[in-house]
Chain A
């Protein structure tokens, strides 16, 4: 049967289905990640059409035409060039060199990080439980990967991979873990939680890697027996806080000072969470001895309680007025009530340098400082400018007296450190000190409230972060292994007077464009 030219011509265009179908099949396969029947059938049909086209064309002496030869040569050459360029790019990526021309090397790892990563002796993997990477994070992670082949990272969408997320113990989006080892011996360490305020941090990652070697986890004792916050779950309990501490590799145990009489030698941090009754004299002595060594002590003291620690606190230059609390109109403004100081300002300190946002402390007392030689004190948590101190009478009623105290920003929490006194003889083994790798500092944080870390409030706003960062600093677990300053650009301003600005605006908006249009018109007129 002789084909009419028209149908032949029409059929010829069907050949374009071939590449379309092949590409569709490849795309479907790549996107689905598996080569099921659908992609395979698409590719096969595409190939069949291409073969059919070649056969039908060859009947008309297709292969003998000069254009076919030229086309084939061209096709082969083009394919060759594309492949060569692809290979060059592959090598280019593999052996890429990066030059950071920014002034403060904003996009380069700190030398400490470079060292810790390049000296890795086992593969580590950073697991980031977030759906999509962002370019800044990718750049940081690539910088790590460039230092060592043993470092790798993976983004895991916890919703797409709930089993792994549960295995690791992910509770919120954006948690980052460092994974070491393989198979059954795999261990994971919590690094940080990504928030808009706290992006992926080189400091935290490098410190997590650096700490891999030392597996000794810091031990925390929480005093009990003076009406303190209980460790169990429930209203006013500390169970959430303790769970998070355990997640972060701390060992947490209760401490019955009355029974034991002294603080165990392996304690790194002692927390005193809101005692209602006074400590005995021997207990205060035990605390004092503890606080002279290279240890951390966290005091959370509520107003109207008398823990009997005055003499101890005097040594650090702290005065508490136990019969006063802070009234903060800002707390009222956000619906928390006037007796809830709202803290949005944080002092310049390792505990709070990464924090931005609010935290609140229901019923807190102000902490007044006097300078003591040798003690370095930094107010951590500062209330708004309109907060006041109001006295409380015997019945526990606030005596409102607007003129009584002046308004101003008050400290709810203070962090202090001083050199180890004496030989820090808390423990008989001096090895312990060395093992901690500490720089010989006694650390104390005092917060005029204990409710902020209790169940229900711990997870609110930044309360939990304040608590965890504090414990981390006290236990010397954070920032001290590697002190990496966050990279910051040089502060720089453009100085232009208003007149200069106006001139610039006119020049860029009117003069320069008009110049081009004027030339266009002149040329056009000349041509005519």
Chain B
């Protein structure tokens, strides 16, 4: 057990180093930060932003009561969720494709470390990096919550942000599997993006199908589960769904590396 954990940690550290030492990932981070900053400024501060809209409503009187910070949180994280769809495949695309290209995948596949331990370590690494990417966002949201009057409950913020991380883990896990299938990083990113888009719009597909099949398809939707979490509704079925995606991604990755040993070329 101890060996396993130290193996995972070794892979995790190696992954983290490769992320934090690569100028390429910082460029992605910079773009992500710029776009999320843009949305932050537009949604909260801009002329059509939440603050301005509510101020206008207050001026004319009437209207339903509005909880501005949580309103902002729901809209903002909704947008960030969609933005992450573009960013996350770029993070996951190199996970295995890069190893394959450099020819180090055979080393990994035949090393004494089990395949799934490698996969878990890699996933933890990339997830940690994504978490670092979202730290400024967390600060923006915290500013919105801290400057609220009357004071807002920060639990909502933490749950919503946890939802973003769960979504990221699910996407990255599946992206890692896609990455293990090919030695082209671009192809891996495009395929992951397509796969995510499919999972994202399943509720649209499901609405066209009646009966239990439709309900089952609707349950697969990442969008609905993520939407619940950012609104502050924790459903155990949503958590199970996210966990399933993560486990499935890790398992499939391990399987695909396992098969590599016996592949006919």
Contact = CB atoms under 8 A, between A and B. Distances in A.
Contacts of A101: 155-156, 159, 232-234
Interface string A461-494: 0000000000000000000000000001111111
Nearest to A133: B207
Given A102-B232, A490-B65, A516-B33, A496 B147 contact: yes
B29 A516 contact: yes
A434 interface: no
B238 to A, nearest CB: 8
Contacts of B1: none
B214 to A, nearest CB: 9
B240 interface: yes
Interface string B242-265: 001001100110010011011110
Given A102-B70, A523-B21, A524-B23, A93 B159 contact: no
Nearest to B207: A132
Contacts of A494: 44, 50-51, 68-69, 72, 144, 147-149
Interface stretch (A296-304, A311-319, A507-515): A507-515
B37 interface: yes
Interface in A511-528: 512-517, 519-521, 523-524, 527
Given A92-B236, A107-B231, A70 B40 contact: no
A95 B211 CA distance: 19
Which of A97, A500, A501, A516 gathers most chain B CB within 10 Å?
A516
B59 interface: no
Contacts of B244: 85, 88-89
Size category of the B interface is 35 or more
Interface stretch (A73-81, A262-270, A275-283, A418-426): A73-81
Interface in A403-444: none
Which of A69, A88, A103, A513 gathers most chain B CB within 10 Å?
A513
A31 interface: yes
A30 interface: yes
Specify the main secondary structure of chain A where it touches its partner: helix
B140 interface: yes
B155 A508 contact: no
B68 A508 contact: no
Given A89-B219, A492-B68, A509-B41, A99 B26 contact: no
B107 interface: no
Interface in A78-119: 78, 81-82, 85, 88-89, 92-93, 95-103, 107
A395 interface: no
Nearest to A68: B262
Nearest to A75: B255
A141 B54 CA distance: 30
Interface of A: 30-31, 33, 65-67, 69-71, 74, 77-78, 81-82, 85, 88-89, 92-93, 95-103, 107, 132-133, 135, 139, 488-496, 500-501, 504-505, 507-509, 512-517, 519-521, 523-524, 527
25 contacts: A67-B263, A70-B258, A70-B261, A74-B259, A92-B237, A101-B232, A102-B156, A107-B231, A133-B207, A489-B66, A492-B66, A492-B149, A493-B149, A494-B68, A494-B69, A496-B51, A512-B33, A514-B30, A516-B27, A516-B29, A517-B30, A519-B23, A520-B26, A520-B27, A523-B23
